[in-house]
Amino acid sequence: MLDITPSLFMLQLVTGIALGAVYALLAIGLSLIFGMLTVVNFAHGAFFMVGAFLGVYFLGLTGNFWLSLVIAPLVVGVIGLLAERYLVRPLYGRGIDYPLLLTFGLSYVLIDVVRALFGIEGLPSSTPASLRGAVDLGFGHFPLYRLFLIGATAVLVLALWLFLEKTRYGLIIRAGSRDSEIVRVLGVDISKVWWLVFGLGTTIAGLSGVLAAPTRAVNPEMGISVLAESFVVTVVGGMGSLPGAVVAGLLVGIVFSMTALLAPAYAEMSIFVLMALVLLVRPQGFFGKAGALG
């Protein structure tokens, strides 16, 4: 009973891209941190979740979506900065496992803090009035807000690219992710750079949370599945590679969306199979440096 018309296919594709946009954002945050600090942030999903809650909370407080779109991620970023300074930093040089495990514990804490503050059922979140309704794309109606998601991601990726390519800080970060020695030679305090990058990464996680909030149920556990999925994206794209994060993010979104069309029940499994395949054929991922395997 498969009835796939071209327009349905197109619609499914756009849906996949919108979905992929969120994955890409998440993966960018994760990749920034890994590329620079070689820390796998297991609390990334939790930061995403916190972002979603704060987004909804500030929206209720200020009544202004755009304002909450700015404030909430910044607050998440601050939490990130604190976490790096007092929890992750003491672990540098203790082996790559320790920060990973610590952030795993941190995610547990963040989830329960949110439960305590906002309740276990989660918060009602609805699309901001200015972005409601569906747009006719010629091949079918598509929710305006999801188009906005795609747009917002594009803008953010562009901004980030400019920041990394055109600014001095960007230069330092790019250099640092290749070899922290270089940065030391440049006379920059590497630990400060790491600190800020961790903050930036978590801010982006928070932002993706705020953006995703209107499209899903905002509850304390929403980050758990998201974490696994953004791992898939970063690994497929190549740990620490930003272009990889974007490409893989969109790919995973599309793969999910297409499997959802052809074999809905296998949609979730499909992305893990994709990851397993990529890792076997090209363990370092699309854009990953083979060296990272050592």
Nearer Cβ to another protein (21/156): 21
Backbone angles phi, psi at 143, to 5 degrees: -60, 130
Q: Please, which residues have CB within 8 angstroms of residue 273's CB and are 6 or more apart in sequence?
A: none
Stretch that binds another protein, among 71-79, 188-196, 241-249, 262-270 (CB under 8 A): 262-270
* Residue 210 DSSP code: H
- 3-state class of 282 per DSSP? coil
Minimum distance from residue 257 beta carbon to another protein (Å) = 4
Choice from 35, 51, 143, 206 touching another protein (CB under 8 A) = 143
Minimum distance from residue 14 beta carbon to another protein (Å) = 8
Residue 275, token pair as written in the block: 């990851």
Write the DSSP string, 8-69.
Answer: HHHHHHHHHHHHHHHHHHHHHHHHHHHHHH----TTHHHHHHHHHHHHHHHHHHHS-HHHHH
Nearer Cβ to another protein (200/213): 213
Q: Which string of x and - marks every residue 92-131 that binds another protein (by CB under 8 A)?
A: --x-xxx-xxx-xxxxxx-xxx-xx--xxxxxxxxx----
| Block residue for tokens 């779109």 | 69
Q: Does 8 bind another protein (CB under 8 A)?
A: yes
Stretch that binds another protein, among 9-17, 24-32, 64-72, 161-169 (CB under 8 A): 9-17
Scan residues 26-85 and list those touching another protein (CB under 8 A): 34, 38, 40
**In DSSP terms, which residues pair with 135 in a beta bridge?**
142
Nearer Cβ to another protein (148/195): 148
Scan residues 156-195 and list those touching another protein (CB under 8 A): none
Q: Which residues of the chain form beta strands (DSSP E)?
A: 134-136, 141-143
Stretch that binds another protein, among 8-16, 25-33, 70-78, 155-163 (CB under 8 A): 8-16
Q: Does 147 bind another protein (CB under 8 A)?
A: no
Whether 23 and 227 have beta carbons less than 8 Å apart is answered as: no
Q: Does 91 bind another protein (CB under 8 A)?
A: yes
